[in-house]
Amino acid sequence: MRYHTVIIGAGMSGLAAGIRLAYFEKPVCILERHTTIGGLNSFYRLRGRNYDVGLHAVTNYAEPGTRKGPLAKLLKQLRLRWDDFDLSPQNGSSVVFPGHRIEFKNDFAAFFDDVCREFPKQADRFRSLVSHIHKYDETSLSNEPASARSVLSDFLDDTVLIDMLFCPLMFYGSATPHDMDFSQFCIMFKSIFEQGFARPFKGVRQILKKLTRHYKELGGELKLRQGVREIMVEDGRTTGVILDDGTEIEAEHVLSSAGHVETLGILNGEWRMENGEDRVLNSQFFIPPSGEISFNEAIFVLDCQPRELGHDETIVFYNDAEQFHYEPPTEPLDLRSGIICSPNNFRYPDGDQLDEGYIRITSLADPDYWMSLPDDEYYPAKEEWGRRMVESAVQHIPDFRDHIIETDIFTPRTIKKFTGHLKGAVYGAPRKVLDGTTGIDNLYLCGTDQGFLGIIGAMLSGITMANNHLLR
Amino acid sequence: MAPPDIRQVVLDILERIAPDEDLSDLDDSVAFRDQMELDSMDFLDIVMELRKQYRVQIPEDEYEHLITMDSTVDYLTPKLADVPAGV
Task: Please determine, for residue A281, whether its predicted confidence score (pLDDT) is greater than 70.
Answer: no
Predicted confidence band of residue A276 (pLDDT cuts 50, 70, 90) = very low
Question: What mean pLDDT value characterizes chain A?
Answer: 93
CATH (domain of B44): 1.10.1200.10
Strands A221-223 and A315-319: unpaired
What's the confidence (pLDDT) of residue A279?
A: 41
Q: Is residue B86 part of a domain?
A: no
Instruction: Collect all residues with Cβ–Cβ distance below 8 Å to A360 and sequence separation of at least 6.
Output: A56, A297, A298, A299, A300, A339, A340, A341, A342, A343
Q: How far apart are CA A167 and CA A149, in angstroms?
A: 12
Q: How far apart are CA A458 and CA A437, in angstroms?
A: 17
Q: Average pLDDT in the A160-168 region? A: 98
Q: Average pLDDT in the A182-188 region? A: 92
Reported in sequence order, the residue ranges of A227-353 that DSSP labels E, i.e. its strands, are: 228-234, 237-243, 248-256, 294-302, 315-319, 337-341
What's the confidence (pLDDT) of residue A139?
A: 79
Q: How far apart are CA A15 and CA A99, in angstroms?
A: 44
Instruction: Judge: A81–B17 Cβ closer than 8 Å, yes or no.
Output: no
Instruction: Judge: A73–B41 Cβ closer than 8 Å, yes or no.
Output: yes
Neighbours of A366 (CB within 10 A): 21
Cβ atoms A332, A267 nearer than 8 A: no
Q: Which residues of A touch B23 (CB under 8 A)?
A: none
Task: Please determine, for residue A275, whether its predicted confidence score (pLDDT) is greater than 70.
Answer: no
pLDDT in tens, A381-435: 999 999 999 999 999 999 999 999 999 999 999 999 888 888 889 899 888 898 9
Q: Is residue B87 part of a domain?
A: no
Instruction: Judge: A67–B16 Cβ closer than 8 Å, yes or no.
Output: no
Domain count along chain B: 1
Contacting A with CB below 8 Å, chain B residues are 16-21, 36-37, 39, 41-42, 44-45, 48, 52
Q: Is residue B59 part of a domain?
A: yes
B17: containing domain: 3-21+28-80
Is the pLDDT higher at A84 or at A287?
Answer: A84
Task: Please determine, for residue A345, whether its predicted confidence score (pLDDT) is greater than 60.
Answer: yes
Q: Is residue B34 part of a domain?
A: yes
Q: How far apart are CA A141 and CA A452, in angstroms?
A: 10
pLDDT in tens, B10-56: 999 999 888 778 888 899 999 998 898 888 888 889 999 999 999 99
Amino acid at the residue B25: D
Task: Please determine, for residue A280, whether its predicted confidence score (pLDDT) is greater than 70.
Answer: no
Q: For chain A, percent helix, then strand, then coil, each to nearest 5? A: 35, 25, 40
Q: Average pLDDT in the A29-34 region? A: 96
Q: Is residue B8 part of a domain?
A: yes
- Does the pTM exceed 0.90? yes
CA-nearest residue to A466 within chain B is B41
Q: How far apart are CA A316 and CA A56, in angstroms?
A: 11
Helix (H, G, I), strand (E, B) or coil at A263: helix
Is the pLDDT higher at B9 or at A274?
Answer: B9
Residue B25 burial by Cβ neighbours in a 10 Å radius (0-12, 13-18, 19+): exposed
Q: Is residue B85 part of a domain?
A: no
Q: Is residue B45 part of a domain?
A: yes
Cβ atoms A373, A411 nearer than 8 A: no
pLDDT in tens, A358-391: 999 999 999 999 999 999 999 999 999 999 999 9
Q: How far apart are CA B51 and CA B84, in angstroms?
A: 16
Nearest to A115 by CA among A155, A63, A145: A155
Amino acid at the residue B77: T
Nearest to A7 by CA among A209, A211, A251: A251
Chain B interface disruption, residue of A76, A80, A84, A461, most B CBs within 10 A: A76
| ipTM computed for the complex | 0.85
